[in-house]
Structure 1
Amino acid sequence: MRSIKIKSISSVAIVLLIVAAVPAIGFTQPSVDAGRGLVLDFGYWNIEWIEMAFTEGMDGDAVLDRACESKGYEVTRLADGSVYSVNGQVNLVGVKWAMYVLSGTGWARAEPKSVEAEKNRVITWARSSGEASLVPATDYSGFSYYGYAKDGMSAITGKKLSVVTLAPSVTETVASVKGIDHIIGTDLYSNYPKMISDKHASGDIAITGGYTDPNYEWIIKLAPDLVFCDGSVGQQVVMADKLRKSGVGCVVLYDATDVSAMFGNIWITASALGLSANANSTIRNLRSAIDTVSGIAGETGKRVFVSLSADPSPWTSGSHTFMSDIVSSAGGKNIFDSQSSSWFMVSKEQIYAKQPQVIIIIMDGRVNSNERYREIVDGLDPVWKETPAYRNGDVFLFTGPAGDILSRPGPRLAEAVELLSKVLNPEAFTEKDPLDAIPKYFSDDYQSYLIYQKEVFT
């Protein structure tokens, strides 16, 4: 892990590292003069960040009015003074315009007339069902993620923002909001999009350490404006605290245990880069792809076992994991979804007792031939072979780059949902297009089986 000579690590190994990297520390108090402004949330991931000064005497209504005036938006109010519509976006049943202010690290609804705007840094006006449906109020560590940049330019230097990313999923999230040109350093294992690997090879992007052992000195030497960290990895949360004490801005993304959390990370990342508008288009494209394939696949309810190896007693995912969520999005049911542990080892007897109808194996290396596929499947433990999945030929291998999309909780989860949807209900897709058939194994060529995705990494 600690040698710079290492060129790659399996996605399976990275997932297992997360299990031992749960953060349990205190955080440095925010010292960055975070940007002031309004989050104008129309709902359904149509959000705007409007930077503005909150002057003395302004209340919540005045904030909304001034922000909308700057954008040319009309605000309509009811007789009682409550907001009915903004820019033509009206209240709906259970989804209404309201104002929210920061309370700790979350949002709290507030009466607009009672709010002294100058005492707040960020205010939200949202057409929503309540606090739980809003974008994250802060990053994972409780810091504001606004004010670092505007249109990709540093708020401090006025120059192009430079960033370091400390995890593959984080790197891909930055790239998905058109931030790839801002990256000057990554962890050792980031390799997507291809431009990242190319820039590693050319020396344009430096290596700043491993996944669970980022190197403080290497990061400081690069003098980045901003470092993006993975909040599911304790060592990265500690590193963010240390870097902030040295005057380096950091944004810690949340553990993306479901698709919604992943969308939240995309918004946080784009906003920190000063490119919040890019988050909307990225999220819309991902939602469209997920909704389309989920609609085609329907709810099969098939019992799915996801294994991180072909070992008789492997690691698997429990509840509250991105893996369980994408299986559900694809119309299936994770057989260990009732387990409170996120990732854990399971015995072959437990697997047999659940009688999975589909088995997904994420493996190191690459499987690129029918012969290699048969060799692996034929070599499975005899207990595994006493399941409907094996008897019916529904054992699927995700290897190499295909394994990455099931192991990294980032913007390629939409690709994972499409492939899993086709695994669980292949007939629904071939009925629409007879050529939309899939093999029993995926590797470098997995993208050739994706036809419902919209471009994200441009």
Structure 2
Amino acid sequence: MKKLAGLLLSLLLAVGVLAGCGTAKAPEEPKNTQEKTAEAFPVTVKDASGKEIKIAKEPKRIVSLMPSNTEIAYALGLGKKVVGVTDFDTYPKEVKDVEKIGGMEFNTEKIISLNPDLVLAHASAMQSAEEGLKQLRDAGITVVTVNDAASFHDTYQSIDMIGKATGANREAKELVSSMKSDLAAIKEKAQNIPEKEQKKVFVEVSPAPDIYTTGKGTFMNEMLEAIHAKNAATGQEGWAKMTEESIIKLNPDAIVTTNGASSVKEIKKRSGWSSVQAVKNNEVYDVDPDLVTRPGPRLIKGVEELADIIYPDVYKK
């Protein structure tokens, strides 16, 4: 409000000068953010499909086909432009009032009826949704396929891509900068953890009987490294299935599950697991899966949550 008042005062003073001498020129009014955003178009974005996607005008109506895309869009201040999201979208709370377009098998007709000028698709569903995406393009809708991020670096690229496609370049740069700064602060604090005190952590992303964990090349692995914890499944690659016997042999110092509080109780009661260090020391924890698996702005909160539960003496000071 102060900035606006100052601008109005400057304009009034300029009018006074003009009336007094009749020769001075009125200063040009600065362009507002919307005008500057509009001037950024047309833009060309190379998306995850490898294609050069030309976006002629600033998108006014956006449909997101992936929760992570939605979270990024809202974080960039584009919430009012989002007119369609998936059935799986839960954050931010405003998305509950946005039209739902289905899940992995989205409703093409519903999307077209929302009259979007930009659809944010995702590389993870590129093949399975190929026909549906073609129908959207044939309907004249611009489709940008966002990369399937598997690291913080990849997530920063996703944010930059969505920022460029929507004209929110400045907001994207600020968001990435903030995330990098917050992550650096967490890593700096981790320097206080001696190597001999670094805990070995097993992450259970799918419960028994088919237990899956996260090995190298996953967010959880990178998050654990950030807080100087050791991934018990570091010998695995990506999302790996493991037997209970092999997990018991790993004897992790802590176990993290993303399957709800009930999973913590279930793990503690498993036959043969009472000898596992994490169970013996009551270090079995549940974390919000959206914070540690969705490649978006809240990943930093996921790292913070892991840090707080794995090393409470270091991070809860």
Q: If the TM-score is normalised by the length of the shorter chain, which range does it land in?
A: 0.7 to 0.9
1:263 aligns with 2:162: no
Q: Give 1:51 shift.
A: 5.2
What is the rounded CA distance, in whole Å, between the counterparts of 2:135 and 2:274 in structure 1? 50
Residue aligning to 1:339: 236
Residue aligning to 2:112: 220
1:386 aligns with 2:282: no
Q: Under a length normalisation based on structure 2, what TM-score does the superposition of the two structures give?
A: 0.78
1:304 to 201, 215, 218: 201
Q: Under a length normalisation based on structure 1, what TM-score does the superposition of the two structures give?
A: 0.55
1:52/1:166 CA distance change after superposition, 3 Å? closer
Q: Give 1:148 shift.
A: 4.5
Residue aligning to 1:23: none
CA RMSD of aligned residues (A): 2.6
What is the rounded CA distance, in whole Å, between the counterparts of 1:277 and 1:141 in structure 2? 24
Partner SS, residue 363 of structure 1: coil
Residues 421-443 of structure 1 deviation map (CA, whole Å, 9 limit, x = unaligned): 2223221124xx3xxxxxxxxxx
Q: Give 1:254 shift.
A: 1.0
1:356 aligns with 2:245: no
What is the rounded CA distance, in whole Å, between the counterparts of 2:206 and 2:89 in structure 1? 21
Q: Give 1:272 shift.
A: 0.5
State the structure with more CA Rg: 2
- Contact between 1:362 and 1:403, CA under 8 Å: does it hold in 2? yes
Q: Give 1:353 shift.
A: 2.2
Residue aligning to 2:25: none
- Contact between 2:86 and 2:102, CA under 8 Å: does it hold in 1? yes
Residues 83-106 of structure 1 deviation map (CA, whole Å, 9 limit, x = unaligned): xxxxxxxxxxxxxxxxxxxxxxxx
Q: Give 1:312 shift.
A: 5.1
Residue aligning to 2:212: 315
2:311 to 398, 421, 425: 425
What is the rounded CA distance, in whole Å, between the counterparts of 2:301 and 2:117 in structure 1? 31
Residue aligning to 1:246: 139
- Contact between 2:40 and 2:167, CA under 8 Å: does it hold in 1? no
1:410/1:336 CA distance change after superposition, 3 Å? same
Residue aligning to 1:174: 73
Amino acid at match of 1:294: K
Structure 2 unaligned runs (5+)? 1-38
Residues 29-57 of structure 1 deviation map (CA, whole Å, 9 limit, x = unaligned): xxxxxxxxxxxxxxxxxxxxx9599xxxx
Write 1 or 2 for the structure with the bigger share of helix. 2
What is the rounded CA distance, in whole Å, between the counterparts of 1:427 and 1:336 in structure 2? 25
**Equivalent pairs, count:** 275
Q: Give 1:374 shift.
A: 7.2
Structure 1 unaligned runs (5+)? 1-49, 54-120, 123-136, 155-160, 200-204, 434-458
Residues 156-178 of structure 1 deviation map (CA, whole Å, 9 limit, x = unaligned): xxxxx101001111111111111
- Contact between 1:145 and 1:268, CA under 8 Å: does it hold in 2? no
